[in-house]
Structure 1
Amino acid sequence: MVDLYCPTSSQLTPNDRVLFLDFDGVLHPDDVYRTQSGLELRAPGQLMMHAGILVEILEDFPPVKISLSTSWVRILGYRRARAALPLELQARTVSSTWHSRMPRAPFEGYDMHNRYQQIRAAVTRAGLTNWIALDDDPFESWPDHDRRLIRTDPDLGLSSALTQEQLRVKLRALMGM
């Protein structure tokens, strides 16, 4: 089993304000499948269809950095997953919860942990205190006592006005506004 708390190279520092970002169920519906021709959305719309909403919201919060907490990093690698984002989000993206030094075999190490545990391990590695997460959390892994999650509807993602407002509120709090 891999130690999720092992030191890894990260561009995060303890004082950073960080948004952990999932893709599926957030930036597009959670109906994405890996095919021979790549990742394919099997719902109306297109991949990253709500990314522009996140770009717009984050304009008011310039210091916020992004750490990818999406399975895309494990499947495609960090560079390719990051490249799927619009340039404005790529520029903010500095790390991910999964690193290439972790085993790729299913159900080993990293895959044995839920999303909350994966994010908490990344938080511990970087020594972060100011962070939130944007995720559809389909397995309800987030503990009730931790209020840093903005849970999206897996079909609506960031297209929901309520989710957008919840994100703005948590970003303001993250920034101490």
Structure 2
Amino acid sequence: MLDSKLSTPSRLKPNDRILFLDFDGVLHPDDVYRTRRGLVLRAPGQLMMHAGILVEILKNFPQVKISLSTSWVRILGYRRACAALPPELQALTVSSTWHSRMPRAPLEGYDMYSRYQQIRAAVTRAGLTNWIALDDDPFESWPDHDRRLIRTDPDLGLSSVLTQDELQARLRALMETE
């Protein structure tokens, strides 16, 4: 049974240390499609196959909270997207960049923005200063001047040791900020 906190996304607080988390290309390969049977990975492996890696990394950073920056929230809703994660990550998840009160029509509002713009909007709304993002950023929407993105290889995601090392270094730096 899902925790009751999963039914409604919590608000982020300005002093929170946030990891904006994408799923596709991060927790499993980016080859995910919506079918009549639900979301299906059309690559070797399984959905959320690298989530355990993130669980282990975040054990060393208990102050970090997760905000979902994945299209899964838009497609499935916050509760179902969060429920796809292992319980350890569900417990850390406090929000998402998309909320049900946003327009659902395609190419309206939220859908017009890049992932970077979606995250920046959430950051601005919450007044966040301590955050990073883990995303494969397939459209390369992230501006070069903003170094808060840990860009994953869309096929390897968090299985890449280099990505794991970069994430840990960025999390350590995030803990050192005021």
What TM-score do the two structures reach when normalised by structure 2?
Answer: 0.93
* CA shift for structure 1 position 105: 1.2
Q: Specify the alignment match of 2:147 in structure 1.
A: 147
Q: Deviations over 1:26-65 (max 9, x none)?
A: 0000000000010000000000000000000000000000
In structure 1, stretches of 5+ residues that fail to align are 1-8
Alpha-carbon RMSD:
0.9
**Equivalent residue for 1:131?**
131
With 102-111 and 77-86 compared, the bigger mean Cα shift is at 102-111
Measure the CA separation in 2 of the matches of 1:10 and 1:164. 27
| Aligned match of 2:55 | 55
Per-residue CA deviation, residues 139-159 of structure 1 (Å, 9 max, x unaligned), is 000000000000000000000
Query: What SS is found at the alignment partner of 2:171?
Result: helix
Structural mapping, 1:1-177, within 5 Å: 10-176=10-176
Structure 1 residue ranges, 4+ long, deviating more than 2 angstroms after superposition: none
Q: How far has the Cα of 1:10 moved from its partner?
A: 3.8
Shift of 1:22: 0.0
Q: Percent same amino acid at aligned positions? A: 86
Q: Tell me, yes or no, if the aligned pair for 1:10 and 1:126 is still in contact at 8 Å.
A: no
State how far apart, in whole Å, the 2-side matches of 1:105 and 1:151 are.
Answer: 29
- Distance (whole Å) between structure 2 residues aligned to residue 10 and residue 114 of structure 1: 23
Deviations 1:93-149 (A, max 9, x none): 000000001111111100000000000000011110000000000000000000000
Question: Aligned partners of 1:137, 1:31: CA distance in 2, in Å?
Answer: 14
Normalised to the residue count of structure 1, the TM-score between the two structures is: 0.94
**CA distance in structure 1 between the aligned counterparts of 2:98 and 2:12, rounded to whole angstroms:** 14
AA of the residue aligned to 1:21: L
